[in-house]
């Protein structure tokens, strides 16, 4: 038996998630070049009935968890308007609400809404204007000025916000510039998403190894010089490295996969991978595990956890293949489902571009930085 | 638990500059946890998983 078969986390699917993702609408008011969403031009909205059905389960889960998050993700969740979003939120009790927004609609009134409902805000912005150029409205008009107005409102109202930054073609010379930009922007946390080939985004994400490693190494150095922002990827890698040196690396991965239910606008439930919602495949169908109009969400998740079938069973087999073949498994926990599917056409393959760009080269880049300093 | 012969584990252990980098990181995390840095925009330290709940599968959440 290989030593790496002994990693003990990520075995099977938990029957209880730590958060759910809800799609209040399919619509996004932007049309970013790298977006994976298939129906972002259509305004298909979640009904109050669907939200209440989800809350029927979520409130029970939340009652037994120290924290439980409801993430309003789109489309652009703010495009439904404050009254509609408030109506969708109303049946939830004892949860933390999050929105991931492009910030273009954020104004004083939205800031009041965030404060009143204690909504945690994540903003999508890719850096200075020239690096945010792929975030555009329909017709191609750059969205940067609108994004900055929204962020200005958040700052004026002292609403804390995290930032998610998509990086296309990570390369030397980029990371310090980006990090300094986000220091000035005023976010308290930053996540870096190297562009992924998912959904309707079919652009290549095969980047030169040395450039990607150099990007992460440079980012580690920039954070080290001014560690004022929670820098997700770098700190995640450092946490793993520290646990390894302490002999505790095997304790980091969750024991089981979080099922991460995504509930689409119409009540369809897709587990493990929000990126699969809205897609169909001749082999895998619509990837759904059920619909909250037909069965309670906890029953849908418990059934999938007790007897994984279809693409989920194939994915779990793929995780086991990662466990036995990849030296980075203890860090990563296995290639993500959507990356496998959109890159390989199946769920039981192993290493993906996303693994290489955002996990393997991340860890190696941090080690490159450490080794050089 | 992976055996100590795991090549990645060995490389991590053999990277000379990693110890000082981790010591700096741990000091940052302690300061944040104490809520005493005064420079962060966050109202109190929250692990990045809480800032990004959609950072799914990267849920190696530290004990609190």
CATH at residue A85: 3.20.20.70
Strand partners, A322: none
pLDDT, position B57: 46
Cβ proximity of A189 and B48 under 8 Å: yes
- Quick one: pLDDT band at residue B62, thresholds 50, 70, 90? very low
Strand partners, A192: A165
Say whether pLDDT at A3 is over 70: no
Task: Report the b/e string of A256-278 with b at 16+ CB within 10 A.
Answer: ebbbbbbbbbbbbbbbbbbbbbb
**Sequential DSSP letters for A107-174:** -HHHHHHHHHHT-EEEEE--SSGGGSTT-BBTTS-B-HHHHHHHHHHHHHTT--EEEEEEESS--TTS
Say whether pLDDT at B58 is over 50: no
- Quick one: pLDDT band at residue B50, thresholds 50, 70, 90? low
State mean pLDDT over A80-104.
96
Residue A1 within any structural domain of the chain: no
Cβ proximity of A365 and A221 under 8 Å: no
- Note if the pTM is more than 0.95: no
Residue A373 within any structural domain of the chain: no
Residue A6 within any structural domain of the chain: no
> Kind and range of the H or E element at B25?
helix B18-34
CA–CA dist B46, B29 (Å, integer): 10
* Nearest Cα residue to A12 out of A317, A274, A273, A261: A317
Residue A86 within any structural domain of the chain: yes
A47-85 pLDDT tens trace:
999 999 999 999 999 999 888 899 999 889 999 999 999
Name residues 17-56 of chain B within 8 A of A (Cβ).
17-22, 24-26, 28-29, 32, 37, 39-43, 45-48, 50-56
Percentage of chain A with pLDDT > 90?
Answer: 83
CA distances, B48 to each of A117, B14, B45 (Å): 21, 28, 9
Chain A residue with minimal CA distance to B28?
Answer: A227
Looking at the complex, does the CB of residue A236 fall below 8 Å from at least one CB of chain B? yes
Cβ of B40 within 8 Å of Cβ of A241? The answer is no
The least confident of A108-112, A348-352, A361-365, B32-36 is: B32-36
pLDDT, position A104: 97
Among A27-41, A45-59, A60-74, A118-132, the range with the most confident prediction by mean pLDDT is A45-59
pLDDT, position A1: 35
Total number of domains constituting chain A = 1
**Domain map of chain B by residue range?**
7-51
Beta carbons within 10 angstroms of residue A364's beta carbon: 20
pLDDT, position B60: 40
In whole numbers, what is the pLDDT of chain A averaged over residues? 94
CA–CA dist B10, A367 (Å, integer): 12
Residue of B10, B36, B51 for testing the chain A interface, max A β-carbons within 10 Å? B51
CA–CA dist A88, A22 (Å, integer): 10
pLDDT, position B47: 56
Domain membership of residue A115 as a residue range: 18-298
- Quick one: pLDDT band at residue B55, thresholds 50, 70, 90? low
CA distance A323 to chain B (A): 11
State mean pLDDT over A171-180.
97
- List Cβ neighbours of A38 (8 Å cut-off, separation of 6 or more): A199, A200, A278, A279
State mean pLDDT over A338-356.
96
Residue A359 within any structural domain of the chain: no
Cβ proximity of A110 and A153 under 8 Å: yes
- Quick one: pLDDT band at residue A245, thresholds 50, 70, 90? very high
What are the chain A neighbours of B16 within 8 Å (beta carbons)? 370-371
Say whether pLDDT at A163 is over 80: yes
Say whether pLDDT at B45 is over 70: no
Say whether pLDDT at A6 is over 60: yes
A274-306 pLDDT tens trace:
889 889 999 999 999 999 999 999 999 999 999
């Amino acid at each position: 038996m290989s030593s790496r078969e002994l990693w003990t986390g990520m075995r099977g699917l938990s029957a209880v998630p730590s958060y759910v993702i809800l799609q209040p609408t399919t619509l996004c008011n932007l049309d970013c070049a790298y977006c994976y969403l298939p129906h972002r031009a259509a305004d298909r909205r979640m009904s109050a009935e669907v939200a209440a059905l989800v809350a029927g389960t979520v409130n029970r889960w939340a009652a037994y968890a120290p924290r439980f998050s409801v993430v309003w993700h789109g489309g652009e969740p703010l495009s439904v308007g404050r009254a509609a979003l408030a109506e969708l939120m109303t049946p939830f009790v004892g949860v933390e609400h999050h929105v991931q927004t492009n910030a273009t609609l954020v104004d004083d009134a939205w800031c009041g809404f965030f404060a009143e409902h204690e909504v945690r805000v994540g903003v999508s912005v890719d850096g200075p204007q020239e690096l945010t150029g792929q975030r555009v409205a329909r017709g191609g008009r750059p969205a940067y000025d609108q994004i900055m107005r929204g962020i200005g409102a958040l700052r004026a109202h002292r609403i804390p916000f995290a930032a998610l930054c998509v990086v296309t073609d990570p390369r030397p010379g980029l990371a310090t510039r980006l990090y300094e930009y986000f220091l000035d922007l005023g976010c308290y946390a930053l996540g870096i998403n190297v562009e992924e080939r998912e959904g309707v985004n079919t652009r290549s994400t095969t980047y030169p190894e040395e450039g990607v490693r150099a990007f992460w190494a440079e980012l580690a150095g920039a954070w080290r010089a001014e560690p004022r922002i929670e820098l997700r990827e770098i700190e995640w890698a450092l946490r793993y490295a520290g646990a390894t040196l302490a002999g505790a690396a095997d304790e980091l991965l969750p024991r089981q996969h979080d099922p991460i239910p995504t509930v689409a606008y119409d009540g369809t439930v897709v587990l493990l991978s929000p990126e699969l919602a809205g897609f169909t495949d001749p082999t895998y169908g619509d990837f759904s595990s059920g619909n909250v109009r037909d069965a309670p969400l906890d029953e849908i998740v418990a059934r999938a956890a007790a007897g994984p079938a279809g693409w989920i069973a194939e994915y779990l087999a793929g995780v086991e293949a990662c466990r036995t073949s990849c030296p980075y498994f203890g860090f990563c926990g296995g290639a993500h489902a959507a990356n496998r599917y959109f890159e390989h056409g199946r769920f039981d393959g192993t290493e993906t571009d996303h693994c290489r760009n955002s996990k393997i080269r991340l860890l190696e880049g941090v080690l490159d930085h450490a080794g050089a300093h | 638990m992976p055996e100590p012969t795991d090549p990645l584990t060995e490389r991590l252990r053999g990277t000379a500059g990693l110890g000082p980098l981790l010591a700096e990181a741990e000091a940052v995390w302690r300061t944040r946890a104490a809520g005493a840095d005064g420079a962060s925009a966050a109202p109190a330290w929250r692990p990045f998983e809480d800032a990004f709940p959609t950072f799914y599968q990267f849920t190696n959440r530290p004990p609190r």
